[in-house]
Structure 1
Amino acid sequence: MESLHTNGISLPRLGLGTFRMQGETCRAAVESALALGYRHIDTAEMYGNEEAIGAAIAASGIARSELHVTTKVWHENLAPAAIRTAFDASLKKLRLDHVDLYLVHWPSRQMNLPAIFETLMKLKEKGRTRAIGVANFTTALLKTVVEEIRAPIACDQVEYHVMLDQSKLLTYLRAHAIPLVAYCPLAQGRVAADPTLIAIARKHNATAAQVALKWLLDQDGIAAIPKASRAESQQANLGALKVRLDDADRKAIAALPKDRRCVSPGFAPAWD
């Protein structure tokens, strides 16, 4: 598995997203993914599945050094003391002595960015997280974190897929050598029914989802974390790595509408 190297960590470019996976279903899914060769597992405090993921990791017998585990602090817990409490709880549930990447899950309108990143940096300095980063941060918010606070951001995790334009954000991230980790890379399943993607998939003896995933992974500085609870889906996502898109495919995908945002809760920032 190819990896992105960012702020001292190696981030496998294809990981497993676990949002809305719970309990035994989540544990079985993570065990399956690890058995298939996945080494990048993404979770969050808010998902309520860190215990199940911790159990799956413990049962796998895979060396900790071979795994990349990301978790996140919820936007209601961004005061320094609340971050520390949330982090301790996440680590205990995951049964780990450190995570590889700890993210601010969503920005908050009341947040004190310097205080947040001072707290995250202390966790990093103590070796409790190997790297820190953000999720759902706009270009304007990133500028504050990167240029004013000068925090060593390892990624921005945002929604990104063939139906959503993120060119402005990508321009900024690439200028600062910060990877984008794409969640909802299959537009919550919508890519499977798209006629353009289906036609490209037929040409390559692939699926529309594999085409959409490979389109992302062909781009510099992009990792993707599709959610997949079944082993068949996890294997199919790995199969996307073998698809070879050509210029005609990319041109057809570029012509698709790019205004389909799947995730935009009421507390979301004003998107770029």
Structure 2
Amino acid sequence: MTLDLPSVGLGTMGLDGDDGARAVATALDLGYRHLDTAQVYGNEATVGAGLARSGVDRAAVTVATKTWIDRLAPVDVRPSTEASLEALGLRTVDLLYVHRPKGGYDPAGTLAEYDALVDDGLVRHVGVSNFERAELDEAIDLLDAPLAAHQTEFHPLFRRPELRAHAVDHGYTLVAYSPLAGGRVRDLDPVCAVAEKHDTTPEAVSIAWVTGKEGVVTIPKASSEAHLRANLAAADLDLDDEDVARIDAIDREQELFPE
């Protein structure tokens, strides 16, 4: 069973409380069908409340969370996942990531626990986040379940072509976080030029550029209805080859979330 993710999902880091739940519900009502949270964000209950508040069928939504590094020891994986499910108000989470291969992460032991969670119906799909190629190869070799997704920073200032190629070659989805480079896309002349050409925003161009890459989807964070609408619509922006080449040629690299 493969995991089919929409081009644009909702990143929820920083969304909390009633305002956060309202933003999640609004996103779902607007058409979002992929919600991304994590144990370390401290807002799984908020995401669950937003999902419950919306009128969208639970089965239509992919809910993803991530196991933080202090809960990756094999003995901690199941209880931490059960706690996440309780916070989310769900019986099953659609996608569970290893947040980073650090802390208590023991490849063989940790991933065996992920497989057991899939076998027992608590998790539908297994993902990893912030992995390098060798770590990805190791995870694929160790897992019984197919690797469904790899979440990594990806934007016009940080492309990681080797990771995207690995995803395409192995048939899993690359989930791009921080597609707007923390707002820095507004300062990139090539992105701004393409935006002016299409009478749109640099943010929309960046999202369109990201989602135009084979095998890549993205999860920008937004809370206002206007930004939620704009991010969702950006995937439909049609960039031509010249536009893409102009952004591809940006000769500058900036990683926002290094190890």
Identify whether the pair has TM-score above 0.5, normalized to the shorter chain.
yes
What's the CA shift string for 1:11-41, capped at 9, x where partnerless? 2221000112221221121011011111110
Equivalent residue letter for 1:113: P
Mapping of residues 29-48 of structure 1, within 5 Å: 29-48=23-42
CA contact (8 A) 2:108 2:142 kept: no
Counterpart of 1:140 (choices 130, 134, 146) is 134
Number of aligned residue pairs: give it.
259
With structure 1 as the length reference, what TM-score do the two structures score? 0.91
Counterpart of 1:250 (choices 240, 244, 251) is 244
Q: Does 1:105 align with 2:99?
A: yes
1:81 aligned residue = 75
CA contact (8 A) 1:214 1:240 kept: yes
Unaligned runs of at least 5 residues, structure 2: none
What's the CA shift string for 1:98-146, capped at 9, x where partnerless? 0110000111165310111110001101111110110001111111111
Q: Does 1:262 align with 2:256?
A: yes
Q: Does 1:167 align with 2:161?
A: yes
Counterpart of 2:4 (choices 10, 35, 49) is 10
Q: Does 1:51 align with 2:45?
A: yes
Equivalent residue letter for 1:139: R
SS in 2 for 1:248: helix
Q: Which moved more, 1:101-110 or 1:132-141?
A: 101-110
Unaligned runs of at least 5 residues, structure 1: 1-6
SS in 1 for 2:5: strand
Q: Cα distance 1:242–1:149, how it changes in 2: closer, same or farther (>3 A)?
A: closer
1:91 aligned residue = 85
CA contact (8 A) 1:197 1:208 kept: yes
Quote the Cα distance in structure 1 between the aligned partners of 2:174 and 2:213: 10
Counterpart of 2:194 (choices 174, 183, 200) is 200
CA contact (8 A) 1:9 1:130 kept: no
SS in 2 for 1:133: strand
Percent identical among aligned pairs is 38
Q: Does 1:121 align with 2:115?
A: yes
Quote the Cα distance in structure 2 between the aligned partners of 1:26 and 1:89: 20
Q: Does 1:179 align with 2:173?
A: yes
Q: CA deviation at 1:150?
A: 5.6
CA contact (8 A) 1:16 1:38 kept: yes
Q: CA deviation at 1:169?
A: 1.2
With structure 2 as the length reference, what TM-score do the two structures score? 0.96
Counterpart of 2:225 (choices 231, 242, 246) is 231
Quote the Cα distance in structure 2 between the aligned partners of 1:87 and 1:76: 13
Quote the Cα distance in structure 2 between the aligned partners of 1:14 and 1:191: 18
Q: Cα distance 1:110–1:53, how it changes in 2: closer, same or farther (>3 A)?
A: closer
